[in-house]
């Protein structure tokens, strides 16, 4: 919040188990059930990497949610109280095709982290997208 000292964002070492079904629910609107299963499995196997909050928002072309969004406000309270947040789950975009990266779980956490410090290093798991041919075969 403006005028308040900035808190450090603390992170869990791995995403919470509940994050994977949440990611699957989102992905289901973008690809087939087989594609969802493949992407979720890729996310589970991916290693944690770190990227800045501002870069995640830019790569995903998502707008910064307001501080008073219920989920962002909840995550900001967790940060102020020293509670750990779950790492973010993403699917890589395709620059050559103009396809943005997808934050498949953790958008609110990214926004709360941005408000804390736009240069916050956020742990995330990043899956590569499904091959284009696979998308065509699964989605007639």
Mean pLDDT of the chain: 91
Strand arrangement of the beta sheet that strand 48-52 belongs to: 48-52, 121-127, 88-91, 102-105
* CA distances for 22 relative to 89, 114, 127, angstroms: 10, 22, 15
Query: Lowest-pLDDT range, 4-13, 72-81, 101-110, 121-130?
Result: 4-13
- More confident: 98 or 16: 16
Write down the pLDDT at residue 6. Answer: 56
Q: Which two tokens stand for residue 38?
A: 């493949």
CA-to-CA separations, 43 to 13, 22, 81, 103, 115, in angstroms, rounded: 14, 12, 29, 12, 26
- pLDDT tens per residue, range 61-70: 999 999 999 9
pLDDT at residue 134 greater than cutoff 70: no
pLDDT tens figures, 29-56: 999 999 999 999 999 999 999 999 999 9
SS3 state of residue 44: helix
What does the alpha-carbon distance between residue 125 and residue 48 come to, in Å, rounded to a whole number? Answer: 5
Distance, C-alpha 25 to centroid of its chain: 14
Q: Cα angle vertex 69, ends 29, 126, to 5°?
A: 45
H/E stretch holding 90 reads strand 88-91
């Amino acid at each position: 919040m403006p005028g308040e000292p900035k808190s450090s964002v603390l992170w869990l070492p791995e995403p919470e188990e509940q994050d994977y079904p949440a990611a699957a629910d989102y992905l289901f609107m973008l690809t087939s059930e087989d594609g969802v299963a493949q992407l979720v499995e890729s996310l589970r196997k991916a290693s944690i990497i770190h990227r800045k909050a501002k870069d995640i928002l830019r790569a995903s072309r998502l707008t910064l949610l307001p501080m008073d969004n219920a989920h962002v406000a909840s995550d900001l309270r967790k940060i102020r109280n020293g509670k750990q947040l779950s790492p973010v789950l993403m699917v890589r975009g395709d620059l050559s095709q103009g396809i943005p990266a997808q934050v498949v779980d953790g958008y609110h956490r990214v926004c709360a982290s941005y408000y804390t410090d736009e240069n916050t290093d956020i742990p995330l798991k990043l899956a590569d997208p499904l091959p284009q041919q696979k998308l065509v075969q699964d989605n007639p």
